Amino acid sequence: MFPVASSDNTRLQNQQANSDLQELFRSTPNLIGIAKITDSEENPSINAHPAFKKSGQISAADLIIDKDGIVRRGNLFPIADGSAKSSIPSLGLAVAFNYLATEGIKPSKDEEDWLKLKNTVFLPFKPNDGGYIRADDSGYQILLNWRSCGASFRQVSVSEVLQDRIPKDLFQGRIVLVGNQAISVKDNFLTPCSQGTGSTPAARSGVEIQAHLASQIISAVLEGRPLLHVWSELKEYLWLVFWIVTVAVWGCQQQKRNNPFKIIVPILGLSAIEAVILIIISYSLFLKGYWIPIVPTLFGIVVAAVMIIGSIYIIQLLEAKKNLEFKVAERTEKLEDSLEKLHQFQQQLIIKEKQASLGTLSGRIAHQIKNPLSLIDINISSSLIFLRQLSQIIEENRLIFEDIIEEIFQNNEEIIFNLEEKLTDSQNQVIRINQIIQDVLSYFRQEQLATSLTDLNSLIDKVLQSVARQYQGTERESPVKLVTNFDTSIGRIEIVPQEIEKALINLLENAYYTVLSKQNKTKDNYIPTIIIQTRNLFNRIEIRIRDNGEGIAENTISKIFEPFWTTKPPLEGTGLGLFFVHQIIIEMHKGEILVDSAKGEYTEFTVSLPIKSSN
């Protein structure tokens, strides 16, 4: 029984108890005292009893408390502040040494100079082991593998010992740790097992923590109970990456889904399944002595899931934005196309209305003009007949009227000789007017004219010579330079020759008009020139008529094919020539006609006719 000093004893009794206690310390070889060798303002160092110093049976009771106030590590050889080496073992290690010595097991070192007991090597804790980051690894620390979160050891109070209420062989063959568990002593600490169901965490006394350390060492050596090990940083990173990549790959496979609900649910579902699997694997490995980083991995899974969902959402937003922009652009293009078609339809409608008006008007005008023209034609014909008869009578009675005839011829010789010619020209013009009226009426009556294989180059040459003769002998005439370049490979093509002839006449007459008009206004050495060329493009024939006349203003080019539109003076143009050209080339022959012009420099008409048949 331990001699105990008490306030109930006399001074002499307490002195005797103290003397007996020191003698007990000296005479008990397996009794180990404790000391606190680390020093701080809150927890200063405490020296061991002098009696233990003499026997050398001293151990350290220092504990390592993490920043969150929980004890997770045990220090086999604490290092005193300011000391480079450990001086004494911890209490748990010291009593374990003594116990294992009775089993014939003595401490040794492995190849790396770490503590070895029998076949068990105690690897020291490193700053980044497990869930730690740059932790203090001073001394010789190991991770504590708690036996259980309940009562792991038999506890006996002092009163039970004094009252002899314990079995006599209770301490036989056992390690007995004597300590104070009173809360007032402030030697109670939180452990991973302190987080119970109650509102106040359950703390463990320092002596109980040392008992766990001793039990862990002895069980590992004798029973093979695993110590807590950790993976290398590389393995931990690979472990973390594996779980994150699994979520990422699964998430990327859901990217093709359009429904956000069908994207989020599978990703979160897999994350939850992974979390459960991770916890099960981690717990299974923990039972085998491996502490793997579960919290960072769970956090990584959650972050990966959130980032994948966010990235998919952003990608889909960008794709939706891109699709929307494409649809808007496509819709805009369609609207512009529809607007252009509407504008073209509007222009066609205007032209059709003008054509209808022109057709009605031309019919009325033709009706009003044909009767006077017929009367004029009859009168001219009658005058010609009368003139011829008169000439015959005069010729027959020349001797009788010789003096009178001679006098008439002397005073009116030019009139007499030119009268028949003038009347004949007048009759020809009447015939031409009738032909023009007939052409206008036939066009607006939509008469179907037959096509025929025609030598286009010959037709153009014929029209060119006809128009050239028309402008010879006039008062405003000056030489017009004509340049032709005909493609001889064209041969004959299927066209309505009389209509193409009309179109070419209109184009060439306009060319003559503009170059001669410019010549009258220009004092420089201006040479009026008209160039006509043809080209065989195999699927179509191209006719180009270019002049170096006054040109067309840019803002009026789009109007030149409209009916009744002209820049000529009222008595020189009706605005129907180019309109008929447009209708003949495009409507009748399904070709194209383009205009290129620069004001004051040139004008070029390009006529394109499709080839239907050729030799």
Q: How many residues does the chain have?
A: 615
Question: What is the pTM assigned to this prediction?
Answer: 0.49
Model pLDDT, residue 315:
80
pLDDT digits (tens, 9 = 90+) for 48-70: 777 777 777 888 888 888 888 88
Take residue 486 and report the two structure tokens written for it.
């005909």
Strand-pair category, 452-455 with 492-495: antiparallel
Q: What is the pLDDT of residues 512-534, one digit of tens each?
A: 988 988 888 886 788 899 999 99
Q: What is the dihedral of CA 546, 549, 555, 557, to 10 degrees?
A: -30
Encoded amino acid at 596, one letter = D
Average pLDDT of every residue of the chain: 80
Buried b (16+ CB within 10 A) or exposed e, 502-529: bbbbbbbbbbbbbbbbbbeeeeeeeebb
- Over residues 193-212, mean pLDDT: 76
**pLDDT of amino acid 614:** 45
- 140 by Cβ neighbours in 10 Å (0-12 / 13-18 / 19+) ranks as buried
Q: Are 460 and 486 in contact (CB under 8 A)?
A: yes
* Residue among 285, 281, 277, 280 nearest 228 (CA): 285
Query: Hey, what's the torsion of the CAs at 471, 472, 476, 479, to 10 degrees?
Result: 100
* pLDDT tens per residue across span 223-262: 888 888 888 878 888 888 888 888 888 777 776 666 767 7
Higher pLDDT pick, 106 / 37: 106
Among 48, 116, 52, 58, which Cα is nearest to 90's?
58
pLDDT digits (tens, 9 = 90+) for 600-610: 889 999 999 99
- Predicted confidence at residue 46, as pLDDT, reads 82
- CA 127, 130, 132, 137 dihedral sign is negative
**pLDDT band for position 593 (cuts 50, 70, 90):** very high
Q: In this predicted structure, what is the pLDDT of residue 609?
A: 93
Dump the DSSP string for 87-116: -S-BHHHHHHHHHHHHTT--EEE-TTS-EE
Domains and CATH numbers, the chain: 31-222 (no CATH), 240-343 (no CATH), 448-615 (3.30.565.10)
- The amino acid sitting at 325 is E
